[in-house]
Structure 1
Amino acid sequence: MTLAELFMTIKAHPLVDPSIPISAYKPIDLSIHNSELKAINVSSSKDLETFIWNFRSQNNAKVVYGGYLEQRGIYQRSIYFNQQNTELERNIHLGLDLWIEAETPIFAPLEGSIHSFKNNTNHGDYGPTLILKHDISNCTFYTLYGHLSVESIAKIKVGAEVKQGEQIATLGTAEVNGDYPPHLHFQILKDIQDYEGDYPGVCNQQDLNFYKENCPDPNLLLKL
């Protein structure tokens, strides 16, 4: 069974407040193709946050989301992503972002266990990050949660079991989350390779085919 087939048969718990209806989630375009972003200083987390929150207000949304395989300009501010060779510049987003306030509780979409965690402190990186391992219907895969609060990874233990719907974290502020407006980066991994508490969430054009295969669309599971 493929992950896409598995996800068709199971229902995930919402990542944030389950009382928020699907109708209150609105997709946002943060790609290089969105002409509205040309007037925004996307290297400033405050300016980007103002743009996102205005979009949310204008669309009467509780949560704005999106970004899977989106080519973004917001990573050019960071030497962690930026390369002289455009083929090697990491600017293609591999997860799905949920933009919502800091300290928002985050819930496990499925049962699993804590695989690893780490505070990834590079500028523009995830900040505090948690990875869960899932074994469901003979399928093993992983889910990654980036841009959390420091408190989220302070007292957890590798191997601890996690129940579906259990609160696993809260969102961090720009001061700890890699300097972004508060949001959750959610990513699905088939093979975590040798990574612990980290995994590339942005790739370059040259490696895109590999990462598209290894990191399927999170919305196959979330069904937003």
Structure 2
Amino acid sequence: MIDFEKIIQSEASSFHQVVDFDRAEDKIVALTFTTSNTEVNSEILNNTGLFCDWINNQMIKNGARYAMGGYDEHRTIYARSAHFSGAEEPRRLHLGVDIWADAGTPIYNFYDAHVHSFANNDHFGDYGGTIVLTYIIDGFKFNVLYGHLSLASLKGLSDGDFIPKGKLFATFGKPEENGHWPPHVHFQIVINMNNLKGDYPGVCKFSEREKYLQNSPNPALILKYNF
């Protein structure tokens, strides 16, 4: 199998930031939603407004502009939505990185890409506005799914559109358009889309962890963070 990390490292220094961030001035707070986080109880999870307030308070008390984290994290928060339920095993393992900030936060393309597909995945707990971009780096082709976007981000798009590096191409959606989550972007590498359009699982069953992580490697090198 191709060493994805080495391919990304070959161009990582040239990547544009996905969100506005000044490393000299801005702070990021790491958030976890495993069973170790006992603050986010069922009352908060079942009330999107309270969940938004909790996220915002984490950033305020830490003096942070963004909150971030979640790759390969076995999360409890998906119990809030039947979208992640299953007859035998619920989906709980998160396959991307979440960046939490205000609705309307700009999202920039980190490298030249083309639009693979896009959709409004309009179910409670789903992605809401979603754009998938296709990249080719050193001859290696892969995709990135950007989820929980504003619906305005989808206007005027067509499959195959060229999105240059550095272009502001989307914004964080409000809860009523992003699947009813606190505003954030779900950033997930997807090497093989398996013929899906505008959608790909961002959460999998723990029993299928290895299969899905192989197809969705850690995007930390692209996002330039290390928690």
Instruction: Indicate the TM-score class for this superposition, using the shorter chain for normalisation.
Output: over 0.9
Deviation at 1:32, TM superposition (A): 2.2
Match of 2:172 in 1: 171
Cα deviations by residue, 1:148-205 (Å, 9 ceiling, x for unpaired): 1111001111111111111111111000100000000000011111111000000011
Unaligned runs of 5+ in 2: none
Tell me by how many angstroms 1:20 deviates.
5.8
SS at match of 1:35: coil
- Match for 2:38 among 16, 35, 39? 35
Q: TM-score, normalised by structure 2?
A: 0.92
Pair 1:47-2:50 in alignment: yes
Shift of 1:18: 4.2
Whole-angstrom CA distance in 2 between matches of 1:223 and 1:16: 11
1:119-144 Cα deviation digits (max 9, x unpaired): 00111000010000001101100001
Please say if 1:213 is aligned against 2:214: yes
Q: Corresponding residue for 1:121?
A: 122
Q: Which AA in structure 2 matches 1:162?
A: I
- Alpha-carbon distance in structure 2 between the residues aligned to 1:131 and 1:192: 10
8 Å contact from structure 1 (residues 43, 74) kept in 2: no
1:68 is matched with 71
Instruction: Give the direction of change, closer, same or farther, for the CA distance of 1:90–1:21 in structure 2 (3 Å limit).
Output: farther
Asked if 1 retains the 8 angstrom alpha-carbon contact of 2:75 and 2:92, the reply is: yes
Matched residue of 1:31: which SS?
A: coil
> Residue 107 of structure 2 corresponds to which residue in structure 1?
106
Structure 2 Cα separation of the partners of residues 119 and 211 of structure 1? 23
Q: Which residue of structure 1 aligns with residue 145 of structure 2?
A: 144
The residue matched to 2:72 in structure 1 has which SS? coil
Contact in 1 for aligned 2:172/2:184 (Cα 8 Å): yes
Computed over aligned residues only, the root mean square deviation of the Cα atoms, in angstroms, reads: 1.6
Match of 1:193 in 2: 194
- Is 1:78 aligned to 2:77, yes or no? no
Contact 1:128 1:147 (C-alpha < 8 Å) held by counterparts: yes
Looking at structure 2, the residues matched to 27 and 16 of structure 1 have their Cα atoms a distance apart, in angstroms, of 16
More helix by share: 2
Structure 1 residues 140 and 21: CA distance shift in structure 2, 3 A: farther
How far apart are the structure 2 equivalents of 1:189 and 1:44? Answer: 31
Q: Once the 2 structures are TM-superposed, how far is the Cα of residue 210 of structure 1 from its aligned partner?
A: 0.5
Identity in percent: 35
How far off is 1:221 after superposition? 1.9
